[in-house]
Amino acid sequence: MSAATATATTVDADARIPLRGHLRHTGALVRRNLLWIRQDPESMFDAILMPVVFTLLFVYVFGGSIGQALGGGQDGYVQYVIPGMIAMMSMTLSQGVGTGFSQDFNSGVMDRFRSLPIGRGSVLFAKISVELLRMLFATTVLMIVAVLVGFDIHHWGGLFAAVGLSAVFASSIMWVFLTLGVILKNAQSVQAMGFLVLFPLQFGSSIFAPTNSMPGWLQHFTDYNPLSTLADAARGLMVGGPVAHDLWVTLGWSAAITAVAAPYAIHKFRTKN
């Protein structure tokens, strides 16, 4: 059977599976991935340690100097940086879906999945669902540490809205990393590419510091950086301030990234030899 014929057969098979079947397959794969985490608890170390380390690092190492610039000292910086770190979690942990996907391909797990009569999209949706659960767990750890270092939750509804917005944006970025997990040869390549994407987006944003002291050309970059709008929207929701513009821009970025990356990731997964 040729590659083109195999692809057509796969697409036809997917089309014959009803929505209920796709949901059932996705649920079974989510359970499989959660059982794998249970057997390999070390895979949760990044979700546990990253929010702790980054919170303590930025609050106690940079909080004093940046907080003085903000006019509120270290306590003021805590109120500034914690909403931004929720945005950071959404981006940083999204990389794990790509590396895990690549490892599954190299270990032969994906060959097994693609030989089963299940929807191909179910495999990808299950991966995203589990990574979102990991992100929510990391956010919970982050907020516990944040309260311990002095963060004051002004609006509980705003907190849940900020976490939900971060989850929406994270799910769109995960499609990008899923694509990298399919087209790149190994997990190390996915990590390297992810670092090149994450580093400028995170530090060229308003997550850790205000952008008004940055050079003009960098401020123009931060204005179009979705992590800046996500951090500012989370800050407005949790602490108070303008929200509408940053909220709609973040949702627009999420919709645009998903509309481009999701169909491409599913197509590459179906046609990968």
pTM of the shown model: 0.85
Q: Residue 18: its pLDDT value, please?
A: 65
What is the chain's length? 273
Distance from chain centroid for Cα 247: 17
For position 24, what pLDDT does the model report? Answer: 77
- Looking at residue 6, what is its pLDDT? 42
pLDDT at 5: 43
The residue type at 239:
V
Distance CA 213, CA 85 (A): 20
Q: What is the pLDDT of residue 89?
A: 85
Q: What is the pLDDT of residue 19?
A: 64
**Residue ranges of the chain with per-residue pLDDT less than 70:** 1-22, 111, 113-120, 273
pLDDT value at residue 236 = 92
